[in-house]
Amino acid sequence: MRRLKVFGSLVKDSLDVITHGSKKYHIWMAFLTFVMLVGMYCYSVQLEHGLSVTGMTDRVSWGLYISNFTFLVGVAAAAVMLVMPTYVLKDIDFKQAVLIGEGIAVAALIMCLAFVIADMGGPSVLWHMIPGIGVFNFPNSMLTWDVLVLNGYLFLNISIPFYILFRHYQGKESNSKVYIPGALLSVFWAVGIHLVTAFLYQGLQARPFWNNALLGPRFLASAFAAGPALIILVLAIIRTFTAFKIRNETLKKIAMVVTVAAQINLIMLISELFKEFYAPTHHSESAYYLFFGLDGKTALLPWIWTSISLNVLATVTLTFHKLRNNSKVLYFACFILFVAIWIEKGFGLIVPGFIPGPYGKIVEYTPTGIEIGVTLGIWALGAFVFTMLAKTAIKIETGALRYHKNES
Amino acid sequence: MGDSIKKWFSLNLGNSNTKPSGSCGCGNPSGGCGSHNSENTDENAIGEERHKDGFEQVFDVKMDRRSAFKKLTASLMVGAGAITTSCSVIVGDETKEKAQIDWEEQFKGNYKLMSDEEKKGTVDRLVRSYQLRTGKTISMSSKNAEEDVLFGYAFNISKCQGYMDCVTACVEENNQDRSSQMEYIRIHEMEDGKGFNFNEADDNYYHEVPAEGHFYMGTQCFHCDNPPCVEVCPVQATWREDDGLVVVDYDWCVGCRYCMAACPYDGRRFNWSTPEVPEEEVNKNQHYLGNRMRKKGVVEKCTFCVQRSRAGKNPACVEACPTGARIFGNLLDPDSTIRWVLENKKVFRLKEDLGTEPKFWYFMD
Ligand code: SF4
Ligand code: SF4
């Protein structure tokens, strides 16, 4: 009973925290709400007219939604890079950062699920996919695996921080025996969500561009670069706008993680390019299309070359300690790395899988305004969720928010 | 898929696929459309067919929950019925019936797992619903695969002249969306002397045929014996029937399009918007798994005209072809033309290295 009461007061207090803030905070939230409303309007148009309002066709049947989904799974998985040293190796440096990391993971997962639902032709019959009520084609379909691991990961990433914050809220220390097993599990789980998502594409013999053993590992490498890069940026923002203390060492350590992952990612990219272009086969056509265009069709060229230049620039910058230790340069490098990997895992991975088609037909894909609107709306939703989570968590962690027995 | 799909297909035409008749390819006794299900049929079905259902073997528990859900649905239905009845002053009988049908259709189970009775139930509802909406009567079949039948197809490259009569016939027969010009069949025009070079082929030509110095090759869903599209579907909305047809339950499909990504032969089409067929052009001879009207947001594909082939007729494309380039028949019947072609011609299939085992062969005179 007591727990329930504490919980009730926590909910009340956090609502209070969420609805009160500085002017900048309100402007930020109002802006996100506006973007979400626009996204909702676009989605209602899509619901009414069907997916024909998007740029997708029978020839390129997945587009912007699935691209973003794929990328965000990576961002979510990256929280693990912080979880591991903090909880298990008792690296105190990371402790505050990890709560933020898990908040990002939760927001990213919610966005993932939203993108999958936005991509469905029949959201009203989505219950067909609920195990037990519908028919769940497990273990044959990798998509069912993905549904399971993503929801499991979401659960883990909600429950662990919730436990810790709940204890801190009452002014108690959290019991490491309770959360360490959970944290360990989430470490494996994060690798799992990423591999399973890669297998979603990797397992299709119909699409040689995806049917490639390096896809899974490369997903991991790019995720461990893009995810922590985002965390660095978010921490930097939080550091300037709130009382939350994040030490420089923490950022430096995360930057180290980003650097190593970005380097590995680049090596794998070179390996892939070598395989596709040293002895090109029929199966290299998608890669040719992506990097050089085919038959004068070159829609993806600007994207992929932007991505590669940003990627190389960021990796080189991060590799030099001098540059990396300068926080301005670090933020810039993280930002361009994030953008580079977003392009690479989105447009650079999903779309060329369909081009050229099974019989060599080249039909290009360009997202429509509606599609972009829905996408932006979902990103705003993610940012909204994250801001709420982070704001509450920071208040609790800095001690501003505590349970008062008499108050409730 | 617990049943007889082998990983690697061997053309063993003599003795494959002898299964008890009247089965739907899975025989699940409690597919659950929320009605039409008596205790008796359940028990019979379990006795005869239980061994075949991989789904049920693995997910025994789930089926119980499924039926629990069914009961829930049923009780909700009673509730909804009560409400509509009590409002009967306002709404007419037909509106009530329509609402009832829509409700039952929304919460029915997967066709693959339905008993024969439940299949009939949903077909009756669909026919009635069409009648209520348009005043026209259609006939819709729920005929199951027959015993000792395995459908196959052969395409004579030397004969095809690219007239595309098959494409037109297919669109009309299968009530395909006219507004997006959906076509199951693609005819690839290739240049003589370049071999089967799909990259340079044109599958969207508008000139007079046969064009000088070109030959033609048709593709469609090949009804793979080891279909990757079936494996990947998260809800088993698409499956291989016992007579080899790969079909889709349009009402069960959630429209994720994973199967389109998995098909190596460009065999699947998606309803990007609500399909439109002018009322007078609707083919009223329908099958649940075939050419019945689709809705937006679901996947569809060639079914070898299940409404025709299971009634002993040739698919519309075969009938329409003026050159006789298309041959269809039962692979298990030693006297069929298709068997003669396979035994006497040098046949080949596309992308054999993928292990999908298409039941669609090409040959030349
Ligand atoms: S051709 Fe494509 S759609 Fe048809 S059965 Fe094979 S994989 Fe499935
Ligand atoms: S689109 Fe429909 S049939 Fe295809 S995999 Fe998804 S649910 Fe299954």
Mind listing the pLDDT tens digit for each residue in B235-253? 999 999 999 999 999 999 9
Give pLDDT, residue A93: 64
Give pLDDT, residue B155: 96
Is residue A6 within 8 Å of residue A403, measured between CB atoms?
yes
DSSP for B100-121 reads HHHHHHHT---GGG--HHHHHH
Min distance B195 CA to chain A CA atoms (Å): 14
Give pLDDT, residue B321: 95
Mean per-residue pLDDT for B248-273?
95
**Average confidence score pLDDT of chain B:** 81
Residue B110 Cβ < 6 Å to ligand 2: no
Give pLDDT, residue A253: 83
Minimum CA distance residue for ligand 1 atom 6? B224
Give pLDDT, residue B44: 40
Per-residue pLDDT tens for B135-174? Answer: 899 999 999 999 999 999 999 999 999 999 999 999 999 9
Per-residue pLDDT tens for A384-394? Answer: 999 999 988 88
Per-residue pLDDT tens for B214-231? Answer: 999 999 999 999 999 999
Q: What is the CATH number of domain A2-401?
A: 1.20.1630.10
- Touching B: A residues 194-213, CB under 8 Å: 200-201, 203-207
Contact A133 B55 (CB under 8 A): no
Residue B36 has pLDDT above 60, yes or no: no
Of A129, A203, A361, nearest to B234 by CB-CB distance is A129
What's the pLDDT band for B25 if we cut at 50, 70, 90? very low
Give pLDDT, residue A5: 87
Give pLDDT, residue B239: 95
Mean per-residue pLDDT for A89-114?
82
Q: Which of B258, B269, B270 to mutate to test the pocket of ligand 2 (most atoms within 8 A of CB)?
A: B258
> Closest Cα to residue A120, out of B154, B82, B271?
B271
Residue A100 has pLDDT above 90, yes or no: no
Token code pair at residue B82: 């009560």
ipTM comes to 0.90
Token code pair at residue A116: 């999958």
d(Cα B337, Cα B334) in Å, to the nearest integer?
Answer: 9
Per-residue pLDDT tens for A50-97? Answer: 999 999 999 999 999 999 999 999 888 877 667 766 666 666 666 677
Is residue A321 within 8 Å of residue A310, measured between CB atoms?
no
> Closest Cα to residue A20, out of A322, A403, A400, A350?
A400
- Is A369 touching B (CB cutoff 8 A)? no
Per-residue pLDDT tens for A6-39? Answer: 888 888 888 888 888 889 999 999 999 999 999 9
> Closest Cα to residue A206, out of B265, B302, B273?
B265
Give pLDDT, residue B77: 53
What's the pLDDT band for B203 if we cut at 50, 70, 90? confident
Give pLDDT, residue B15: 42
> Which residues is B270 bridged to in the sheet?
B299
Residue B7 has pLDDT above 50, yes or no: no
Distance A236 CA to ligand 1 centre (A): 51
Domains of chain B: 39-109 (no CATH), 146-365 (3.30.70.20)
Mean per-residue pLDDT for A272-291?
90
Query: Which helix (DSSP H) or strand (DSSP E) does residue B156 occupy?
Result: strand B151-156
Give pLDDT, residue B281: 93
Residue A316 has pLDDT above 60, yes or no: yes
> Closest Cα to residue B363, out of B178, B196, B236?
B196
Distance A229 CA to ligand 1 centre (A): 42
**Average confidence score pLDDT of chain A:** 89
Distance B297 CA to ligand 2 centre (A): 10
Interface mutation target, options B28, B256, B260, chain A, most CBs of A under 10 Å:
B256
Express as a percent the part of chain A with pLDDT over 90. 49
Residue A350 has pLDDT above 90, yes or no: yes
> Closest Cα to residue A194, out of A130, A261, A133?
A261
Mean per-residue pLDDT for A188-193?
88
Q: What is the pTM of this model?
A: 0.86
Residue B235 Cβ < 6 Å to ligand 2: yes
Residue B1 has pLDDT above 50, yes or no: no
d(Cα B296, Cα B276) in Å, to the nearest integer?
Answer: 10
Mean per-residue pLDDT for B106-124?
92
